[in-house]
């Protein structure tokens, strides 16, 4: 009888040990996956000039578009897959700051404007604070947030999901904007400002364009295109 009890006790101990081991392994993989996702999101933010380690959504929870975790695990191949020419949509981009003409734009896309000599990969469109910022093309808002470096910022993905338009340092957002919202060309997104780490004496819109693939998340690396060339060669507004 004592032997039978000992056998049962040994079985319980072994089962509990194995179960704990399984949960430890599962938990480790979950933490590694989260860390990798956070690293990818941080890398994407740095590429866009957003040095802040934490990004706060201003739209609350809006499904997968509100989170930088998850999505595709391959952050390199998306850029490598982009081989097609500029789409028709990008041949009709609107200058995203009202009353700014093509001749007013400055090409500082290739400037090395950070201590570690990273390329700007965007243009700064100078304008008085409070000037309306409008959508350069139709699309859908994928990310609406505030961070210490980029300030009030918006990511808009094109209707074919292959292009992301990035607007940063806004003074404020247009009322009612939210993640997942469809945006038309010329729709008001907010106003020019100097939020984040922008110089208060030089309000401007930091504007970037990235080519990506339809299944890539907003924070994954893409191919930076020069907005200056697109806006001065093809702008109609």
228: enclosing H helix or E strand: helix 227-234
Q: Which pLDDT score, from 0 to 100, does residue 26 have?
A: 40
pLDDT in tens, 163-192: 999 999 999 999 999 999 999 999 999 999
Whether residue 13 has pLDDT greater than 80: no
Of 11 and 108, the structure prediction assigns the larger pLDDT to 108
Question: How far, CA to CA in Å, does 63 sit from each of 31, 37, 59, 72, 92?
Answer: 21, 16, 11, 16, 31
Residue 118 CB neighbour total at 10 angstroms: 13
Rounded-to-integer distance, Cα 218 and Cα 161, Å? 10
CA distance 130 to 146: 18
Give the DSSP H or E segment for 167: strand 163-173
Provide the 10 A C-beta neighbour count for residue 68. Answer: 21
Position 227 in a domain:
yes
Lowest mean pLDDT among 90-94, 134-138, 145-149, 191-195: 90-94
| Residues contacting residue 63 through CB under 8 Å, at least 6 positions apart | 180
**In the predicted model, what is the mean pLDDT of the chain?**
73
Strands (E), the chain: 56-57, 123-126, 132-134, 139-147, 151-158, 163-173, 182-183, 188-192, 204-211, 223-225
Tell me the residue range of the domain where 93 lies: 56-234
What pLDDT digit, counting tens, does each position of 195-215 carry?
Answer: 999 999 999 999 999 999 999
What's the rounded Cα separation, in Å, for the pair 78 and 161?
A: 12
Whether the per-residue pLDDT at 69 is higher than 50: the answer is no
In-domain check, residue 44: no
pLDDT of the residue at 144: 96
Residue 136 lies in a domain: yes
145, part of any domain: yes
Does 137 reside within a domain?
A: yes
Query: Domain total for the chain?
Result: 1
The string of pLDDT tens digits covering residues 117-136 is 577 899 999 999 999 999 99
Q: How far apart (Å, rounded) are the C-alpha atoms in residues 166 and 152?
A: 11
- Band the pLDDT of 45: cuts 50, 70, 90: very low
Q: Which residues share a beta bridge with 156? A: 141, 165
Does residue 12 lie within any of the structural domains?
A: no
How many residues are there in the chain? 237
Q: Where are the beta strands (DSSP E) in 54-128?
A: 56-57, 123-126
CATH at residue 124: 2.70.70.10
Cα distances (Å, whole numbers) of residue 199 to 30, 48, 79, 206, 237: 40, 17, 32, 12, 27
- CB contact at 8 A, 205 and 125: yes
Instruction: Tell me the sheet residues that pair with 158.
Output: 139
Instruction: Please indicate, yes or no, if residue 5 is contained in any of the structural domains.
Output: no
pTM for this one? 0.67
């Amino acid at each position: 009888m004592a032997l039978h009890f000992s056998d049962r006790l040994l079985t319980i101990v072994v089962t509990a040990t194995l179960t704990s081991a399984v949960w430890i392994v599962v938990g480790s993989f979950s933490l590694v996956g989260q860390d990798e996702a956070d690293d990818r999101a941080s890398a994407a933010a740095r590429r866009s000039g957003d040095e802040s380690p934490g990004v706060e959504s201003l739209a609350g929870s809006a499904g997968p578009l509100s989170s930088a975790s998850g999505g595709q695990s391959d952050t390199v191949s998306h850029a490598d897959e982009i081989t097609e020419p500029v789409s028709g949509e990008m041949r009709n981009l609107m200058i995203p700051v009202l009353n700014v003409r093509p001749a007013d734009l400055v090409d500082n896309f290739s400037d090395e404007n950070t201590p570690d000599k990273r390329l700007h990969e965007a243009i700064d469109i100078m304008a008085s604070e409070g000037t309306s910022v409008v959508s350069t093309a139709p699309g859908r808002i994928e990310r609406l947030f505030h961070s210490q470096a980029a300030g009030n910022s918006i990511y808009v993905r094109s209707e074919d999901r292959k292009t992301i338009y990035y607007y940063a340092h806004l003074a404020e957002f247009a009322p009612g904007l939210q993640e997942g919202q469809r945006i038309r060309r010329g729709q008001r997104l907010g106003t020019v400002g100097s939020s984040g780490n922008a110089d208060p004496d030089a309000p401007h819109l930091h504007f970037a364009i990235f080519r990506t693939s339809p299944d890539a998340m907003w924070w994954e690396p893409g191919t930076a295109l020069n907005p200056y060339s697109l806006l001065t060669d093809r702008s109609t507004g």
